Structure 1
Amino acid sequence: MDKNKLSQPVGKSGLHPRNKHKDRYDFTLLIETHPALARFVRLNQYQDASIDFADPFAVKTLNQALLKQYYGIAAWDIPAHFLCPPIPGRADYLHYLADLLAACNAGLVPRGDKVKVLDIGVGANLVYPMIGQREYEWHFVGADINPEALGNARQVIASNPGLDSAVTLRLQANASAIFQGIIQADDRFDLTMCNPPFHASLADAVAGTQRKWRGLEKNRGKPAGKNSKLPVADKLNFGGHAAELYCEGGEEAFISRMVQESAQVGRQCLWFTTLVSKAATLPAVYRALRKAGAFKVKTIEMAQGQKKSRIVAWTFLDDNQQREWCCQRWQ
């Protein structure tokens, strides 16, 4: 495609003001940064430059371009059967967490490796630690139950200067545990973050993938009937290893277990947080937090276009303990 014919980017609704992706993708710039993207960029039915988001190679190549252009990540790849995350939404989570820390630090976002963040389910993609380190210079511990995922994450770290001293990886040996076995006795984390498994079963995950596929086909002007088929089983943009996509009981059960475990290490972390995809999950999460004795709970709404999500954050520290934590660690 002739890059001189690419339309100018238009603003996207809902993203955090500090999010580098709050405007529409500038494909001219991205192609200059990562020429491999050019073969995937076309004018859509609205005569805007775009890619086919149903094409796994296009989605992965777009991610490579975004990471290279905005975060200086020169080398990034993932195995075919692991989750290929949307970069703008992942960045949004981190910026809202920065605001959460700023609220107890006189309005200033703490920067530098004194800030310690635990990423539960870091995955093969390592996206949260990469963006968080580049944006705020935070130090990350990434935990996962999958050795293959951590192996790929190690390759990404080794291939990009500055990540090796900023990211530590830990294997969760107990598939039924979340914080247990990961948070050590001498650990202190300013934040924990998690994008929990969304679905309750493999069947639910497959059904969700098919719904998204039909939605994309409809947006592309193609028939979207019940007989629409996925061209391949492991589409990267909707793909993911089993542990990334589903667990027994879905996100409600996973987050409830996370809340229960967080109470056992409540003095070792300032703010525990998680994404919550379904609004219907919130009542169960709030019940679990009351039962666990959380001192304060915050719900942070997020949006990217039509997609709505939210962060639930909780702490077991009272206001004085929070202020003392900030003074001792960041000032």
Structure 2
Amino acid sequence: MHPNNIHHTSYDFLALANSHSILESFLHTNTFGNLTIDFSNPKAVLELNKAILKYHYGLNDWNIPEGYLCPAIPGRADYIHHLNDILEKEKSDKKVRGLDIGMGANCIYPILGVQIYDWYMVGSDISINAVTAAKNNMDSNQQLSKNIDIRHQTNNAHIFEGIINDDDYFDFTMCNPPFHTSKEEASKGTLRKLKNLGDSQNLKLNFGGQANELWCNGGEALFLKRMIKQSVAFANQVGFFTSLVSKKEHLPKLEKQLTKLKAQHTIIPMTQGNKKSRFILWKF
């Protein structure tokens, strides 16, 4: 993980439960004698996230509708810390303004950007339910409501148009794109995760996620190619564009497209435990 990420060590479940008492009912001792939760139980994971956001990030409350994506916060924080490394090289005294494309109901990247680095964030989403849920979380936390603007994308043909206003300037954009091509593919991915968690007795879709959060026509590759193409029109309103790329085999085609458009680009690698991930960055 990034050296500034506070989640380098195992979860302190006692401290987390002290900040969010409901979590205590989900704690149990594993075969190694350590406190933990059942990570295949969506309710347990939801309450863990609530506890993390209260204990580490100072939120009063946070919630998402049933069936929506419940993010793994340590990995999400890594993206934020790596973005800050890039921003620090710019050496600007102005308050950082960032845009999260497809924030989801959890709105986790804007929340972390505000609470860790005091950025001003805009979060956008195509789902009105996600927008409503995110606004409810803003209303529950004064610090967030002052520093996060939630915008609804009403046209699924557009990524930036209708979200970036004429008078907007963003130091960066970020995105965690839908990486599956269909609901069936997403379901198979979920079952693999559950098997890895040892939950062979209870294979069900339990980590949440709606269509626009987990899958779209063409999957991650087509979505990112569309994002890159549409970013050209906003080159003067964004310092740099970024997006996670879950499948490294997509990188050559994305880099080829960026080179064709004469965009400067680089790949930022990230590591969380045994997981290798990355995001692509480009500017004009």
Shift of 1:213: 1.1
Give the SS at the match of 1:25.
Answer: coil
Distance (Å, rounded) in 1 between the aligned partners of 2:127 and 2:142: 24
- In structure 1, the residue matched to 2:274 is 306
Distance (Å, rounded) in 2 between the aligned partners of 1:111 and 1:211: 46
Shift of 1:292: 2.1
Task: Report the AA paired with residue 279 of structure 1.
Answer: K
**CA-atom RMSD, angstroms?**
1.4
Counterpart mapping for 1:229-308 below 5 A: 229-231=202-204, 233=205, 235=206, 237=207, 239-294=208-263, 296-308=264-276
Give the SS at the match of 1:103.
Answer: helix
- In structure 1, the residue matched to 2:191 is 210
Asked if 1:60 is matched to 2:46, the reply is yes
- Paired residue for 2:85, among 82, 94, 99? 99
Distance (Å, rounded) in 2 between the aligned partners of 1:39 and 1:273: 39
1:55 and 1:300, CA in 2 relative to 1: closer, same or farther beyond 3 A?
same
Greater gyration radius: 1
- In structure 2, the residue matched to 1:191 is 172
Distance (Å, rounded) in 2 between the aligned partners of 1:52 and 1:143: 32
Distance (Å, rounded) in 1 between the aligned partners of 2:61 and 2:87: 30
1:161 and 1:111, CA in 2 relative to 1: closer, same or farther beyond 3 A?
farther
Is the CA contact 1:210–1:229 (under 8 Å) kept in the aligned structure 2? Answer: no
- Where do 5+ consecutive residues of structure 2 fail to align? none
User: When the two structures are superposed, what TM-score results if normalisation uses the length of structure 1?
Assistant: 0.83
Distance (Å, rounded) in 1 between the aligned partners of 2:28 and 2:124: 38
Distance (Å, rounded) in 2 between the aligned partners of 1:140 and 1:96: 16
Give the SS at the match of 1:168.
Answer: strand
Tell me which moved more, 91-100 or 296-305.
Answer: 296-305
1:243 and 1:59, CA in 2 relative to 1: closer, same or farther beyond 3 A?
same
Task: Report the AA paired with residue 250 of structure 1.
Answer: G
Give the SS at the match of 1:68.
Answer: helix
- In structure 1, the residue matched to 2:6 is 20
Distance (Å, rounded) in 1 between the aligned partners of 2:210 and 2:65: 10
User: CA deviation digits over 1:132-181, x for unaligned, max 9?
Assistant: 10111111111100011100111100001111110111111111211122
- Where do 5+ consecutive residues of structure 1 fail to align? 1-14, 317-331
Shift of 1:104: 2.5
Shift of 1:230: 2.3
Identity %: 45
Distance (Å, rounded) in 2 between the aligned partners of 1:151 and 1:53: 27
Is the CA contact 1:111–1:136 (under 8 Å) kept in the aligned structure 2? Answer: no
Distance (Å, rounded) in 2 between the aligned partners of 1:156 and 1:293: 40
- In structure 2, the residue matched to 1:7 is none
User: When the two structures are superposed, what TM-score results if normalisation uses the length of structure 2?
Assistant: 0.96
Distance (Å, rounded) in 2 between the aligned partners of 1:45 and 1:277: 32
Shift of 1:111: 7.5
